[in-house]
Amino acid sequence: MTLAPPSLDREADAILRGDHTDPFGYLGPHATGSGFVVRAFLPDAIGLELIDPATDQTLASAHPVSGSGGLFVVPLETRPPVQYRLRAAWRDSSVEFVDPYQFGPWLGEIDLYLLREGTHFETYRRFGAHCITLDGIAGVVFCVWAPNAKRVSVVGDFNFWDGRRHVMRLHPGAGIWELFIPGLGEGVRYKYEIKDRTGTTLPLKADPVAYAAERSPATASRVAKIDHHRWQDGAWMAGRVGQNLYTRPMTIYEAHLGSWRRRPEEGNRVLTYRELSETLVPYVKEMGFTHLELLPITEHPFDGSWGYQPTGLYAPTSRYGNPTDFQFFVDVCHRAGIGLLLDWVPGHFPNDAHGLAEFDGTHLYEHADPRQGLHRDWNTLIYNYGRTEVAEFLLNSALHWLDHYHIDGLRVDAVASMLYLDYSRQPGEWVPNRLGGNENLEAVAFLKRLNEICFGRFPGITTVAEESTAWPQVSRPTYNGGLGFGFKWNMGWMHDTLDYMALDPIHRSHHHEQLTFGLLYAFNENFVLPLSHDEVVHGKRSILGRMPGDRWQRFANLRAYYTFMYGHPGKKLLFMGNEFAQENEWNHDQSLDWHLLSDPLHQGVSALVRDINRLYRQLPALHELDHERDGFEWIDASDRAASVLSFQRNSRTAGAHIVVVVNFTPVVRHGYRIGVPSGGPYREILNSDDRRYGGSGVLNAGMLTPDALPWHGRSHSLALTLPPLAAVFLAPAED
């Protein structure tokens, strides 16, 4: 077939400049009036041949477009064979490859319909980069949302980061760009080169839905497969479906993987996911915790953000390994009987140039108005929850972790900042909602939908809100007007009790209500009592560091506080290091101070936490009715003069209960009488003043027989010896 020498026309010029908005309309195979042509653009190539895949023979040689520097046209009399290959030659090398511009679309009409409607609950299987086989050819398909872009290209090592080489196909009306590139596979580094609507090339963007990323401070995305791991947690996954977390024990160990333990002999390096599965998981189990909660392991550029400013909401950070390694870690947790909660951050994102900020040259993910889109506290950007595609992006991130990584629950960060338009803003710095109020109605709708869909699609999981205000019904069902979370952190209890414990005991009688006030609202929500990472940084001191008195008194105060916490209604959370009384504030750049465990007082706190976790799990009265009023009764809440509290925890079994008495002064109180509900004998089952915990050994030994003396509105009473700065648990002897 003869063909006139091709010339550089308008379309060809657009291809050369990387400005063509429909590369599939020009490149690849096309019918002409006299046959067919295959067009390809290979910058700086000097020759091109079309190869028959069946015979490996050259079917035709290409004609270069004059003055194009790499644009070729292959003339053919008949349609080119399916899956034809191209062989390109440069001055010092040649490459053979399958032409990506011969393949049809990756997304189907149903995908596009559901995406536009906002009901595609597996977009994480469509967006991002996926290793697939298309028409018998292995490669990677890339898919990204950038509706206001003039052009989007995939760039990486495979194409010299040249945005002209792999321009993507646009789905008009959906704003979605896609491209299948044959021959690529796992591990490939890539980004998106985007030209905005004016034709300006933006900074290279990481993939918002990447499954993996380069190790920080590098910022490229990586192609990853997440189906290598063979899960062995079937029994755990089946068992969690029917469980009622509200009536089960939940004692959570919150950890930052990068600083739990390091290898100082190896340059202070962090442990990997697999190393942590051999060290952290057995430790959590040994200490008696039921759940492990991780500070965000979603990919983030800055170590000092602790993960709370993520740029990759779908990728486990590469700091500790790859996605398969993290799946292995989750599996080990489950096989050890440990549930795994993940801190998840849908409230804001950083303004790094490679991230979501002005992703396609417009305020795509964030609000354009800084009164709505700028988080002043952290200099971060706020998601536009009212935009369907943004809400779907966030929702599918949550579903992705629950699906691909078997996560047992999501602790949603900074919920208060999402709920209020005037959060941390002065008058004039925020925009009221359509009703004139300060509620972020779009964020409220998003959170309700998030909880409905997560609980509906993954029975047995939970969600936890870090919500610091009095917003009503955070952990109540959406059908009753709630936000639908499973649990809410009790920030009020945490602040009140920590403030109380910081007081010298001589002043505590004047602040008694700080211990009792929390019981006025303890059952309004499904509360978790958190002593979290936020309470041991930024000059707040460690939990031990807040305790007053000499060294012995500080440890005694801490032991009393922890025992009071475990007796109080609500699930429990301790940040790493709290369990052995870390002296210093948490430093994310170094290990916890494990050497402290050579000190008897630190050993004592560790032993107490281990024992109290065991009791909390074993005794239904300490956990079964954590969120019901029937599970708690005051014995005496009013003894402010002695700074003593006494109360009773109940289970569903009639008569099964635990009596808790706490003495918040350094005075031993002999013959301290409390009312009890029956005349049967009691035993002291825990005393934080026990010598094995570092205490002074003031115990109530043996059987404790109540007197038939009414007290505190009960038919019988016990005369106890209250140890100094200590708490005791008493149980009916038959239990």
pLDDT the model gives residue 376: 87
pLDDT of residue 21: 86
Residue 551 has which token pair? 């060294």
Secondary structure of residue 187 in the 3-state scheme: coil
Cα(30)–Cα(32) distance, integer angstroms: 7
User: Look-up: residue for tokens 């959570």?
Assistant: 252
CB-CB contact of 562 with 609 (8 Å): yes
- Can you tell me whether residue 155 is helix, strand or coil? strand
Q: How far is CA 560 from the centre of its chain?
A: 32
To the query of whether residue 579 is one of the catalytic residues in this protein, the response is no
pLDDT tens-place string over residues 362-411? 999 999 999 999 998 899 999 999 999 999 999 999 999 999 999 999 99
The answer to whether the beta carbons of residues 27 and 41 sit under 8 Å apart is yes
pLDDT tens-place string over residues 653-696 = 988 999 999 999 999 999 999 999 988 999 999 999 999 999 99
Residue 481 pLDDT exceeds 70: yes
Interval 26-40: pLDDT, tens = 999 999 888 999 999
Average pLDDT of the segment spanning 78-84: 92
Q: From the centroid of its chain, how far is CA 51?
A: 48
Is residue 310 within 8 A of residue 344, CB to CB? The reply is no
* Mean pLDDT, residues 614-640 taken together: 97
- Residue 585 catalytic? no
Res. 735: pLDDT tops 80:
no
In the DSSP assignment, the letter for residue 580 is G
Q: What confidence tier does 1 reach under pLDDT thresholds 50, 70, 90?
A: very low
pLDDT number for residue 606: 98
Assigned token pair, 578: 């709290």
Of 343, 360, 366, 413, which one is the catalytic site residue? Answer: 413
Average pLDDT over residues 342-362: 97
Domains of the chain: 10-102 (2.60.40.10), 109-222 (2.60.40.10), 627-732 (2.60.40.1180)
Region 343-352: mean pLDDT is 97
Q: What is the mean pLDDT of residues 225-229?
A: 96
pLDDT at 3 over 60: no
The predicted structure's pLDDT at residue 590: 96
| Over residues 465-494, mean pLDDT | 97
Q: What is the mean pLDDT of the chain?
A: 95
DSSP 492-531: HHHHHHHHHHTS-GGGGGGGTHHHHGGGGTTTSS-EEEEE
pLDDT value of residue 2: 47
The closest of 348, 336, 263 to 308, measured between CA atoms, is 348
Q: Report the amino acid identity of residue 45.
A: A
User: Per residue in 436-477, pLDDT tens?
Assistant: 999 999 999 999 999 999 999 999 999 999 999 999 999 999
- What integer pLDDT is reported at residue 7 of this predicted model? 62
Could you tell me how far CA 186 lies from the centroid of its own chain? 24
pLDDT tens per residue across span 12-61: 889 988 888 899 999 999 998 889 999 999 999 999 999 999 999 999 99
Give residue-wise pLDDT tens across range 112-148. 888 888 888 889 999 999 999 999 999 999 999 999 9
When pLDDT is cut at 50, 70 and 90, the band that residue 5 belongs to is low
Is the pLDDT at 4 greater than 60? The verdict is: no
pLDDT of the residue at 19? 87
Catalytic residue among 111, 299, 408, 466: 466
Q: What is the pLDDT of residues 163-198, one digit of tens each?
A: 999 999 999 989 999 999 999 999 999 999 999 999
| pLDDT confidence tier of residue 6, bands split at 50, 70 and 90 | low
Write down the H helix ranges in 549-675. 551-567, 600-618
Strand order in the sheet with 151-156: 151-156, 189-195, 221-222, 212-213
Burial 52-68 (b: 16+ CB within 10 A, else e): eeeeeeebbebbbbeeb
- Tell me the per-residue pLDDT of 267-319, one tens digit each, with 9 for 90 and over: 999 999 999 999 999 999 999 999 999 999 999 999 999 999 999 999 999 99
Residue 171 near residue 107 (C-beta atoms within 8 A): yes
Report residue 174 as tokens: 């959906």
Alpha-carbon span 315 to 400, nearest angstrom: 10
Query: Do residues 411 and 341 lie in contact, with contact meaning Cβ atoms separated by under 8 Å?
Result: yes
Distance CA 504, CA 548 (A): 6
Written as six digits, the tokens of 628 are 């019901």
